[in-house]
A and B are shown apart, each in its own frame.
Chain A
């Protein structure tokens, strides 16, 4: 069996790198070169790295995933896409990592709001200038091998700029569609919400049948007193690998909420990191559902850097069959971050004896006047609750389904955008036995 290591990836990507490098402005060319140097020295993350201990990335070594090529948007059935693309949002669609003007719906964006292809933005001096102090600023490519890989080789992505005081009337949705197989789809997203702006954004990852790898790195800058909610709906193909990273910088008084629905992929990992400035607040929610042999990893990191920050985190996992879920949540409170108020929770529901949940909350507190708590549970359905439902005429299987659904639905119910809520609800119900669950009654 052919085994691909990082150096084989570097060889296979040499031409791509040369082309991308040539198209890049000087500072970006330098960043790509530095990222490649980093990737050359470290390669993809290894299991010996504590942060990657639970993530088996051997699938990357079994297949050499070549760079995804720009494919005609025709490969995507617009009708099918409507299952995911919201009618009441502005949407920008990437097909196999490349901007598709045909599928995107961006009419009527308020003046000054920019939602565009990242490649196009980098090709124009005015917008490229705005990106110089953003790209690779919320995350550095020494973060991990995937960030380095992405920084060296990303071809396109999304650039969103919301000017100061702008309050968006509709959400902005970024739809990533994968149509190819045996390829790596490398995208980079940069979202900047200037001071006092308010926006809701959605990143949706959806794929056809293919066995591909999606490496999606997003950087989010939430300006002073701005309010950003970002939903991530990951429903990749069941053969796909997904390595996603969302790296956030919150300015003073900024509010950031992230709702992470990790439902698809054979192996899916999501990292969400946020840095909080003085009196900024973040809320991280997550729901991961694993069936069959899915492996779903969630890693979060909340850095309280300054005083009076508030963070709330709740991740819930439901694992059936031989699925495995991992939650690694780290909260770091810097010496300077007095009066931090932080609460982290992770709850896991195991539906089969072969399912597994690994949960690892980590608190690192260097300040002395803080309120920090965490709680984790791994358990099965409560027998008392099952009997109570049975005594109310519900058969055991339906009772189990109702309780499972109710457990997961707590996270779905937090989604206040009706159309998005319905898409997510549909996706959750698709993955779990529905017998006895009547959507109309909810």
Chain B
């Protein structure tokens, strides 16, 4: 699905990612944890095509194609989805309009015709129920005036409708209350399938109780300093990151 090799990324002269290696196979769930400022969002952004970063070395291959060479919208149409840590407010563009535009772009990309208006509404309303949202959100401007938690839930709604192949969730759990975390996690779990992979950036073990990862990686100072199974997250919860950083420093 995704193969990242020795990826180095800078902003201006400042190196942020310093040699990331990551292999993600279809159906796998990878959790990425790590201290603030370690480069987790940068990795999410670089995978989804945000401008302003320079790749100085390395590669990212998605389904056999050079991911870094594709414009962001092509990545999205090919199935890469980023649930933003800070979803952007788009006044004047309704949620339902954007969903329709997005879904039709994907269909067009795959040589399919536009979605039928009725089918579309049935699909969208079904997902709205899945995430226990109010239908009114569909007709509001994208994220405008949404609470922090509502924004996160809206990201997962979009993901549920667009059915991407590679789902990158950047701190989707931050800002969600306990009930919302459960609902959103169930939404994510319902999307799990053998041909869909997830990269979940999180600071909290709590999320991983609901969505059980296959692998946990620790990103620190722009490098993956440790990888392991779900038990690594528990260890981090207990000990924090300093023992890893100390190990890194002495290595």
Residues of A within 8 A of B (CB): 383-385, 387-396, 398, 402-403, 405-407, 409-410, 436, 438, 441-442
Contacts and interface: CB of A to CB of B under 8 A. Distances in A.
B72 A398 contact: no
Interface residues of B, number: 32
Contacts of B84: 388, 391
A394 B90 contact: no
Contacts of A390: 49, 71-73, 76
B100 interface: yes
A396 B71 contact: yes
Contacts of A389: 90, 93, 98
Nearest to B89: A385
A80 B125 CA distance: 41
A390 B49 CA distance: 9
B50 interface: yes
B34 to A, nearest CB: 22
Given A392-B101, A393-B106, A402-B101, 5 more contacts: A384-B88, A388-B88, A389-B90, A392-B102, A393-B102
B61 interface: no
Contact of A392 (B76, B91, B109): B76
Main secondary structure, interface of A, reads: helix
A358 to B, nearest CB: 24
A282 B87 CA distance: 36
A393 B162 contact: yes
B88 A396 contact: no
B71 A436 contact: no
Contacts of B141: 406
A396 B122 CA distance: 29
Interface string B56-83: 0000000000000001110011000110
B98 A406 contact: no
**CB-based closest 8 A-B pairs:** A406-B92, A390-B72, A393-B105, A388-B88, A393-B102, A393-B76, A392-B102, A390-B73
Interface in B84-127: 84, 87-88, 90-94, 96-98, 100-103, 105-106, 109
A258 B99 CA distance: 34
Contacts of A405: 92
Contact of B73 (A396, A402, A441): A396
B158 interface: yes
A410 B144 CA distance: 13
B142 to A, nearest CB: 8
A390 B78 CA distance: 12
B92 A391 contact: no
B110 to A, nearest CB: 11
B223 interface: no
A391 B48 contact: yes
Interface of B: 48-51, 71-73, 76-77, 81-82, 84, 87-88, 90-94, 96-98, 100-103, 105-106, 109, 141, 158, 162
Contacts of B105: 393-395
A385 B71 CA distance: 15
B90 A403 contact: yes
A430 B158 CA distance: 31
A387 B71 contact: no
B101 A436 contact: yes
Contact of B91 (A396, A398, A406, A442): A406
Contacts of B87: 388
A349 B106 CA distance: 30
A245 to B, nearest CB: 31
Contacts of B102: 392-394
A27 B162 CA distance: 72
Nearest to A407: B92
Nearest to B101: A394
Given A396-B73, A441-B100, A442-B97, A391 B90 contact: no
A89 B155 CA distance: 44
B88 A385 contact: yes
Contacts of B98: 389, 392, 394
Contacts of B49: 387, 390-391
Contacts of A407: 92
Contacts of A393: 73, 76-77, 101-103, 105-106, 109, 162
Nearest to A398: B101
A442 to B, nearest CB: 7
Contacts of A392: 76, 98, 101-102, 158, 162
A406 B9 CA distance: 34
Contact of B93 (A383, A387, A396, A403): A403
B72 A391 contact: yes
Nearest to A387: B50
Nearest to B92: A406
Among B77, B82, B90, B162: residue with most chain A CB under 10 A: B90
Contacts of A410: 91-92
Contact of A441 (B72, B92, B97): B97
16 contacts: A388-B84, A390-B73, A392-B76, A392-B102, A393-B73, A393-B76, A393-B77, A393-B106, A393-B109, A396-B71, A396-B73, A403-B90, A405-B92, A406-B93, A406-B141, A442-B94
